[in-house]
A = this chain, B = another copy of it.
Amino acid sequence: MEPIEQLLQIAHKATPAIALASNQQKSAVLNRLADLLLEREADVLRENARDLAQLTDDNPKKDRLLLNTKRLSELASAVRQVATLPDPAGQVLLERDIRPGLHLQKVSVPLGVVGVIYESRPNVTIDVAALCLRSGNVCVLKGGKEAAFSNQILVDLLHEALAAEGLPGAIITLLPNDREAVNTLLRAERWVDILIPRGSDTLIQFVRENARVPVIETGAGVCHTYVDTDADMNKGVDIVVNAKVSRPSVCNALDTVLIARTMAERFLPLMAEGLRPWSVEIFADQAAFDILSKSGYPWLQKASADDFGREFLSLRCSVAVVDDLDAALEHIGQYSSRHSEAIVTENPETAERFLSAVDAAAVYVNASTRFTDGGEFGLGAEIGISTQKLHARGPFALEKLVTEKWLVRGNGAVRN
């Protein structure tokens, strides 16, 4: 067996150790980890500096890679928060006698081995490990090579926290930085139960196309907000501006505004005024362009076909004028990545039709798409937003790190 596969086999063998650990033990590991993140700050920052030194100052990865006192302290708080969350495993989900003397239970159990492939953010190492520990899962981590020193010291701290409770280090397994490790992981369905790619669309596509282990896709968000004929225009402006500017780099940020034709003349200039303080670049279709160019909005361009269905992840958005609700639904059906979609309308029938017709993880009426988030939804920390339909849709939080198991207890029962 090749070395990477051996590591995965050892990780797999560690599944009972963490699955059968007591709730108290798992909380103790998490709280010890939080302590260590603060106690060993100097060591962590030193190793992080070694990673940072390899990037030029203008490399956009630098900010994602950076750890500092504030970030470590937030990370430690997040870990303590996860320690307080209820364990999703060990719940009895269904219970019945299927015949006299034959008792059936469906219980939640840890998935087993959770593989995560990610890029430059070293905080993912701690976030993912904490959620896996809380839910009784082994976790196999494959981080970006630019974060190698940072990830190694964070995993050292995790191992120290595990050892303090007598638990094996293989519960958190960090894979080496070579391409072969990824290829082996993608095809290790014997040892790994689920794979979660976190990062760029390219990474996610690569994993999706090459994995034989089942994948949870936490994909791109191409998010629309449709401002309806019956919209309250002030709400519309507030929602569009918030969805675009409050954190443009994340997947639940607005990408495209659709505006009902009868409202466009009045709404678009108001919207542009709202976006102006953030210098948001607008890619407008012909009808929207004609209206906005009259209002003298400075960062206006004509949209090309590629600007629809595009995830901007920056202070840019596209705008299209549509005839009515049906046209908006058709546009969304064609371009949505099925993440988060919103309508602004005062008409309850229109709102309900939008809610039922749009095929997306989260659908909003008169609210910003920025709310799609495990924390905002009251689920605690999350590993990402699932845009697929199986197992988890929307925030992939602690509650989804389990599977089911049917337990049947009899006294000699046989089937006729």
Q: How far is the CB of A326 from chain B (nearest CB, A)?
A: 11
Residues of A233-269 contacting chain B, CB below 8 A? 234-235, 238-239, 241-243, 246
- Identify 5 new A-B residue pairs, CB closer than 8 A, beyond the known A364-B408, A367-B414: A243-B414, A246-B414, A365-B408, A392-B404, A393-B403
Stretch at the interface among A57-65, A154-162, A176-184, A370-378: A370-378
Contacts of A241 in B (CB 8 A): 414
User: How far, in angstroms, from A212 to B243 measured CA to CA in the complex?
Assistant: 32
Proximity string of chain A (362-390) to chain B, C-beta cutoff 8 Å, 1 when within and 0 when not: 11111110111000111000000000111
Q: Contact: B193 with A410, CB < 8 Å?
A: no
Q: Contact: A209 with B212, CB < 8 Å?
A: yes
Q: Contact: B361 with A414, CB < 8 Å?
A: no
Q: How far is the CB of A289 from chain B (nearest CB, A)?
A: 27
Complex: chain B residue closest to A359, CB-CB: B112
User: How far, in angstroms, from A208 to B215 measured CA to CA in the complex?
Assistant: 12
Q: Which of B96, B232, B367 contacts A408 (CB 8 A)?
A: B367
Q: Which of B246, B351, B393 contacts A405 (CB 8 A)?
A: B393
Residue of A238, A372, A390, A416 contacting most chain B CB atoms (<10 Å)? A390
Q: Given known contacts A351-B409, A416-B246, is B391 in contact with A390 (CB within 8 Å)?
A: yes
Q: Which of B96, B378, B389 contacts A98 (CB 8 A)?
A: B378
Q: Contact: B415 with A111, CB < 8 Å?
A: no
User: How far, in angstroms, from A328 to B405 measured CA to CA in the complex?
Assistant: 19
Q: How far is the CB of A80 from chain B (nearest CB, A)?
A: 23
Please tell me if A411 contacts chain B, counting CB pairs below 8 Å: yes
Please tell me if A356 contacts chain B, counting CB pairs below 8 Å: yes
Q: Contact: A366 with B404, CB < 8 Å?
A: no
Q: Given known contacts A16-B357, A104-B377, A390-B390, is B408 in contact with A362 (CB within 8 Å)?
A: yes
User: How far, in angstroms, from A214 to B390 measured CA to CA in the complex?
Assistant: 8
User: How far, in angstroms, from A239 to B407 measured CA to CA in the complex?
Assistant: 16
Q: Given known contacts A98-B376, A388-B214, is B361 in contact with A242 (CB within 8 Å)?
A: no
User: How far, in angstroms, from A392 to B20 measured CA to CA in the complex?
Assistant: 23
Q: Contact: A377 with B406, CB < 8 Å?
A: yes
Contacts of A216 in B (CB 8 A): 390
Please tell me if A194 contacts chain B, counting CB pairs below 8 Å: yes
Q: List 17 A-B contacts (CB under 8 A).
A: A15-B359, A98-B378, A214-B388, A214-B389, A214-B390, A216-B390, A235-B412, A238-B412, A238-B414, A241-B414, A361-B405, A363-B406, A366-B410, A366-B413, A368-B415, A371-B413, A392-B404
